[in-house]
Amino acid sequence: MSKKGELEIPDFRNTPTIDKVGVEERVARFQKRSIKTESKMQGLRMALNMIDLTTLEGKDTPGKVKQMCYKAQHLHDVHPGLPTVAAVCVYPSMVKTAVDEVKGSGVKVASVSTAFPSGQAPLEVKLMDTKFAVDQGADEIDMVISRGKFLAGDYNFVFDEIAAIKEACGKARLKVILETGELVTLDNVRRASDIAMHAGADFIKTSTGKIKPAATMQVTYTMLEAIRDFHLKTGRMVGMKPAGGISNSKLALHNLVMVKETLGNEWLTNEWFRFGASSLANDVLMQIMKTETGIYQSTDYFSID
Amino acid sequence: MKGWDYSPALESTSHVEIKKRYELYINGEWVKPASKKYFKTINPANEEVLAEVAHANEKDVDKAVKAARKAYDEVWSKISPAERAKYIFRIARLMQERSREFAVVESLDAGKTIRESRDVDVPLACNHFFYHAGWADKLEFAFPNRKIESIGVAGQIIPWNFPLLMAAWKIAPALATGNTVVLKPAETTPLTALKLAEIIHDSGLPPGVVNIVTGYGDTGAAIVNHKDVDKIAFTGSTGVGKIIQKAIAGTNKKATLELGGKSANIIMDDAPIDQAVEGVINGIFFNQGHVCCAGSRLFIQEGVVDTVIEKLKHRMKSLIVGNPLDKNTDIGAINSKEQLDIINGYLKIGEKEGAEMYQSPCDLPSSGYYCPPTLVMNLAQSSRLVQEEIFGPVLAIQTFRTIDEVIQKANNTPYGLAAGVWTDKGSRIFNLTTKLRAGVIWANTYNKFDPTSPFGGYKESGFGREGGLHGLEGYLKMN
């Protein structure tokens, strides 16, 4: 057994097994927590501040990205005092535009890389992709792992690739996307989480948003457990980003409950927890306005981007 | 931002009506006790009096048994089984309609969390009535080629840990099989049984078919010793179970006894550890550990001891102990002062033995009866904390090396109610489950209950089964 702070690379064939039925039961318990009044308001504001507002489309243009960056800093100016989102997440080609738009606001710029979303490119291309995004000013890199290699049992390949990308990131924080929808089993999710963290991930992230299912609570919980175990073993904190499928406030609050009870309050900041979502922000805003004014407002009162 | 705590989320009690005083429910009427005595039932979470309840003496019990006999002879044994089913269905439906009220009253009177009374006790109680209603007119298919008959008057005595659910476990099969009932709820938790009497009354069940008499041990003794009772169904302590067995020896009374337990939860080194830890937490802390089948002995294979204990402690940090009516409370109040004293007595023994203890760092309310969730580690098989039923949130932890060793140790107990096995390997599950001497064995889960599944014990955990097809047998004569 290794001492705290010292990193020992385990044999990834022997990662802990996960019982799906047990995970489902535990997740159901989180969903039974009743979040009311003050804690609800605090949770909603926290959720807003943890969102990575995202556009990852072939048809993205600087115009679209600029609009999203404005929204990131001005979520709902009708209601002053709201936090900004945590970051905007774009393709490498849009990083420069985004960096210019959010300058000085505290909103970070994250870029997907490594031949996102499939990751089917040689390492040299992935490294270039990453370095380009970093050079353009990205604060965070969201890479994808090679799922094909993982499923074929080539864990060393996956590990080495993540380690190489981490090096290429320099000061940028690295989020490693496992694309859990393609890994299928929770055992695989756990194993991939362990590989990513040992290879240097600052964050582990569920999905690209291009594959379903994405961030189910079962998958997120399995990854949170992996983070907790990594922390218990090494003393190092790793962040978590569920992405895709979290579109309403209730689900966001349940996720926060899960983070609090699995990892603790230390993880409840956008330094350690993010939501990869675009439609979540407006639902949270609607809930906040409802709590403040007592009435639900129509979606037309909230800007779409 | 520092911390994020859950604001209070109290279940409303405004829709619940608790009378100041409850009489006995005999022959379809609320009657004053011949004893003229009443006792108080309190809320263990704040020690406030909830109601006064009649204390039945021998005369009252005699009246109840006579009513039950008359109802059996004149009505209940004569109507068609399909008619019986209708009444049982009606009781189930009425209970379901008033489930919120039942849940709140159960939490108030027993100290159990609203999460459990709402999600476990009340729905399961309803399901027992629904399930048994279905059997009433199909009994000949349940026991093909056998001639079956109802028994007569069943005397039923139930404990305080699952007051409504145990009443349902007892009353539903008795009615489905054509028997009439005299039921005594526990003295610390009589209210939901009395609420159930209200529902039974509303259902139009013929007078005398179900009689509810409240009181202490003397009331229970009067039922057990009454000459005209044909069957005793008891759930409670092994001590009282022995007294009952002595009392009915040499009589024609049939009996089913569901008694204590010291059930083993076994974690093998290949188990899905996080889910096993969760199962252990649920196994011992469910209902404050007041569960006859609580997984109160934990056996951990030596290779994973440190990991499991570290994770148990970590998980215990997020358990919320407090007001049972708060929807976020995980662990409520200990049922009574007496029980709290018993639990604390065992903790003292542990201290004296020099056992290593861990209690979760939680704030306990200033009034009411509370006990923080507790682990007692590195215990020897001979320790009293391993041998005896504590009936509280106290987990006795032991280690083992081989499968043979753990089977031996798990079976080395006077009890045999339940067990849990945690391993990733299917063959190991079958090996262990065939060798463990316990009535119920769960694999990679714990505390799963369903009306279709029989429940009951080996050895000093009792005899007879409740629930499922097997549960019907206890209320039938078979030829």
pLDDT, tens digit, 9 for 90 and up, residues A55-70: 999 999 999 999 999 9
Query: Where do you find CATH 3.40.605.10 in chain B?
Result: 21-259+458-478
Confidence of residue A1 (pLDDT cuts 50, 70, 90): very low
pLDDT in tens, B295-350: 999 999 999 999 999 999 999 999 999 999 999 999 999 999 999 999 999 999 99
Best residue in A20, A24, A26, A272 to probe B by mutation, most B CBs within 10 Å?
A26
B258 counts as catalytic: yes
- Say whether domain B21-259+458-478 belongs to CATH 3.40.605.10: yes
B20 C-beta neighbours (distance < 10 Å), count: 8
Distance from the Cα of A43 to chain B's closest Cα (Å) equals 8
Distance from the Cα of B192 to chain A's closest Cα (Å) equals 24
CA–CA gap between residue B318 and residue B324 (Å, rounded): 16
CA–CA gap between residue A158 and residue A160 (Å, rounded): 6
CA–CA gap between residue B174 and residue B178 (Å, rounded): 6
Does B99 have pLDDT greater than 60?
Answer: yes
Backbone angles phi, psi at A119, to 5 degrees: 75, 15
Would the CB atoms of A17 and B424 count as touching at under 8 Å?
Answer: yes
- Supply the pLDDT for residue B205: 98
pLDDT in tens, A277-286: 889 999 999 9
Does A275 have pLDDT greater than 90?
Answer: yes
- Say which of A52, A142, A202, A283 is annotated catalytic: A142
List all residues of chain A from 22 to 51 with a beta carbon under 8 Å from chain B.
22-23, 25-26, 32-40, 42-43, 46
A186-198 helix and A217-234 helix, angle to the nearest 10 degrees: 40
Does A271 have pLDDT greater than 60?
Answer: yes
List all residues of chain B from 268 to 287 with a beta carbon under 8 Å from chain A.
270-276, 278-279
A210 counts as catalytic: no
Domain assignments of chain A as residue spans, ordered by start: 19-290
Confidence of residue A6 (pLDDT cuts 50, 70, 90): low
- Supply the pLDDT for residue A4: 54
Confidence of residue A120 (pLDDT cuts 50, 70, 90): very high
**Mean pLDDT calculated for residue range A214-234:** 97
Does A226 have pLDDT greater than 50?
Answer: yes
Would the CB atoms of A37 and B7 count as touching at under 8 Å?
Answer: yes
Does B224 have pLDDT greater than 80?
Answer: yes
Q: Which residues of B touch A270 (CB under 8 A)?
A: none
Best residue in B6, B267, B331 to probe A by mutation, most A CBs within 10 Å?
B6
Confidence of residue A193 (pLDDT cuts 50, 70, 90): very high
B292 counts as catalytic: yes
> How far, CA to CA in Å, does B200 sit from each of B27, B28, B212, B217?
12, 9, 10, 25
Best residue in B7, B116, B323, B327 to probe A by mutation, most A CBs within 10 Å?
B7
Confidence of residue B2 (pLDDT cuts 50, 70, 90): low
CA–CA gap between residue B418 and residue B439 (Å, rounded): 6
Q: Which residues of A touch B274 (CB under 8 A)?
A: 16, 18, 22, 225
CA dihedral B13→B19→B24→B30, nearest 10 degrees, is: -120
Q: Are B119 and B153 in contact (CB under 8 A)?
A: no
Confidence of residue B361 (pLDDT cuts 50, 70, 90): confident
Would the CB atoms of B7 and A36 count as touching at under 8 Å?
Answer: yes
Distance from the Cα of A165 to chain B's closest Cα (Å) equals 31
pLDDT in tens, B8-57: 999 999 999 999 999 999 999 999 999 999 999 999 999 999 999 999 99
The DSSP annotation for A173-224 comes to EEEEE--HHHH-SHHHHHHHHHHHHHTT-SEEE---SSSSS-S-HHHHHHHH
Distance from the Cα of B92 to chain A's closest Cα (Å) equals 25
Query: Where do you find CATH 3.40.309.10 in chain B?
Result: 264-443
Would the CB atoms of B6 and A39 count as touching at under 8 Å?
Answer: yes
pLDDT in tens, B246-268: 999 999 999 999 999 999 999 99
Confidence of residue B382 (pLDDT cuts 50, 70, 90): very high
CA–CA gap between residue B6 and residue A36 (Å, rounded): 7
pLDDT, mean over chain B:
97
Q: Give domain B264-443's CATH number out of 3.20.20.70, 3.10.310.30, 3.40.309.10, 3.30.750.24.
A: 3.40.309.10
Instruction: Say what percent of chain A tops pLDDT 70.
Output: 98
> How far, CA to CA in Å, does A114 sit from each of A2, A111, B188, B433?
32, 10, 66, 50
Task: Tell me whether A269 touches chain B (CB under 8 Å).
Answer: yes
pLDDT, mean over chain A:
95
Tell me which residue of A238, A151, A228 sits closest to A200, measured CA to CA: A238
Confidence of residue A2 (pLDDT cuts 50, 70, 90): very low
- Supply the pLDDT for residue A305: 80
Cα within 13 Å of Cα(A31), Cβ side: 13
Is the confidence metric ipTM above 0.90 for this complex? yes
Task: Tell me whether B6 touches chain A (CB under 8 Å).
Answer: yes
Does A171 have pLDDT greater than 80?
Answer: yes
User: What is this structure's pTM?
Assistant: 0.95
B1, B9, B272: residue with CB nearest A19: B272
Cis previous bond, A117, omega within 30: yes
Q: Are B21 and B79 in contact (CB under 8 A)?
A: no
Q: Which residues of B touch A50 (CB under 8 A)?
A: none
- Say whether domain A19-290 belongs to CATH 3.20.20.70: yes
Q: Which residues of B touch A37 (CB under 8 A)?
A: 7
Give the SS3 label for residue A243: strand
